[in-house]
Every structure is written in structure tokens, then in C-alpha cells.
Amino acid sequence: MRPSIITLLTDFGTKDYYVASMKGVILRINPQCFLVDITHQISPQDIREGAFLLAHTFSYFPKQTIHLAIVDPEVGGKRRPILLKTRNYFFVGPDNGLFTWVGEKDGVDQVVELTNPEYFLSPISSTFHGRDIFAPVAAYLSLGMRPESFGKRINQWVTLDWKRPEEKGKRLIGEIILIDHFGNLITNVEKKRFFSFIKDQPFMIKIGKKRISKLSQGYWEGKKGEVIALFGSTDFLEIAVREGSAQERLKAERGDPILIERGQ
């Protein structure tokens, strides 16, 4: 039998004992399972960023992978702990919108509120459900327990709105939704939307004071230091700088607008 895989995505960082104690808890319950870090560097409390990254990663893993995702500003408060089963994967974490886009992409089969203390650590701290609730539930799930074992089925769960680009006449107005490790600016303008908007006409992309009138095929295009626009591996419009950081070059921040003008 192939080993179970549990991935971890959190905003816990890696300098403390938080992530490792979760891994210990999992391995104590299922010493055979494979643990893979997605990232622990989600910006603190940034549910939206966590949800976006999870949605662009989960489907590369083998089917039946269990994704443990914790960005949980309301830990110990009213938000519910849940297990969400999509067509091909399992997700365990807080019910605060983290699973919005994985649900949209893979289709939600079943959502269970985690209420059965039999599968929790005891006592439960009020500040660290990652270790005390989510990790043990993911571990028992990896042993083959059925989702219903962990609590009661629910029909509603929290979802986030996706900020879609707005169209105003000949302008499409989007924004930067993520800045990656290289300083590439990833926007909310999807490839399909972009092409249906520009309709084979000339276009101008405006970001800060910069104007870009063509799409590049890769980061290597243009001269060193040139600002380029391209569709990256996520299918969203990206602004990049060859062998440099667009973030630094344009002093850009998440939330900054990007404009696409058609027919110029």
C-alpha cells in the first residue's frame, strides 16, 4: 500500500515549536504517513493569501492527499473546525474561507464540523487547535477513518469573495493579489478574461507609472532590468523584471491597481 500523504500550509513560520509539534502529533498516530510542507510563511492571519496558495497547489498532489491548512485568527473563538471532502482530496482546518477556492475547483462532496473529542488531544488549549484538533484529525483520517467519525455533517460553510477585475468602458481594472519570492507581481487578471477583453486589439498595461504594450513569453525576455508582462504558471497576469524584482523596481504592494486599456 502506498503511504498516506498529509501536507501542511500555515502562517506559523518555522522558527518556533508550532509546526514540529503538529508533525509529532501526526506521527504518533500514524508513523507511516508522509508529511510535506506547502508553506508556513503565509502572512500572519492572512486567510485570503492562504486560500489562494492552497488552491494553486492542492491538485498537484496524489488523489486522496490530506491537506492540513491553518490560518486561524479566530482560534478558540466561534469559528468552527471542519473537514472538507472534495471530489479528490481532503482538507482539514478552520471554517473561515480558507477552502473557498479548492471547493470551487474540485467540487465539495461533504463538510463535517469537527465535534468528536475522541479524536482530539486532551486537554485542548484555547490557542493552538493546529496541534490539539486539526493535526490529530488529519492523522486519524490518514489511517482510513471515515469523515463522519469526526463530527456532524454541515451544509453551510464560510466562503470568501473573489475580487474580480472590473470593466469600465475600454479599461479593465485589476489588482495585485500576491507578490512572490522573486518580486513578481501576480494580479487577479486571468488569461481568459484578458483575451476576451482585449479582443485582438492593441492594448496598454499600466502599473504605477509603467506602460507595457506587449506580452512576453518568459522571464528571460527583454534586457536585464526590463519590466515585462506575461502569463505565468498560475494563468494570472504577472508583472516581472528580468533578473530583478518588479516589487522593488516599481515599489509595488499587494492591493495596488493594474489597468489594461484596449484599442490604443
Binding site for its own copies (CB under 8 A): 2-3, 5, 7, 12-18, 20-25, 27-28, 31-32, 34-42, 44-45, 53, 56-62, 65, 73-77, 125-128, 131-132, 180-182, 217-221, 230, 232-234, 242-243, 245
Q: How far is the CB of 232 from its own copies (least distance, A)?
A: 5
- By beta-carbon proximity to its own copies, the closer residue of 238 and 261 is 238
Q: How far is the CB of 19 from its own copies (least distance, A)?
A: 8
Q: How far is the CB of 51 from its own copies (least distance, A)?
A: 12
- By beta-carbon proximity to its own copies, the closer residue of 194 and 261 is 194
Q: How far is the CB of 153 from its own copies (least distance, A)?
A: 26
34, with CB counted inside 10 A (0-12, 13-18, 19+), is: middle
Q: How far is the CB of 110 from its own copies (least distance, A)?
A: 23
- By beta-carbon proximity to its own copies, the closer residue of 150 and 236 is 236
- By beta-carbon proximity to its own copies, the closer residue of 27 and 259 is 27
- By beta-carbon proximity to its own copies, the closer residue of 218 and 263 is 218
Asked if 72 and 78 count as a contact pair (C-beta separation under 8 A), the reply is: no
- By beta-carbon proximity to its own copies, the closer residue of 247 and 260 is 247
Q: How far is the CB of 55 from its own copies (least distance, A)?
A: 9
DSSP secondary structure string for all residues of the chain:
-PPPEEEEEESS-SSSSHHHHHHHHHHHH-TT-EEEEEES-SPTT-HHHHHHHHHTTGGGSPTT-EEEEE--TTTTSSSPEEEEEESS-EEEEESSSTTHHHHHHH-EEEEEEE--GGGS-SSPPSS-HIIIIIHHHHHHHHTT--GGGGEEE-S----PPP-PPEEETTEEEEEEEEE-TT--EEEEEEHHHHHHHHTTS-EEEEETTEEE-S-BSSTT-SSTT-EEEEE-TTSEEEEEETTB-HHHHHT--TT-EEEEEE--
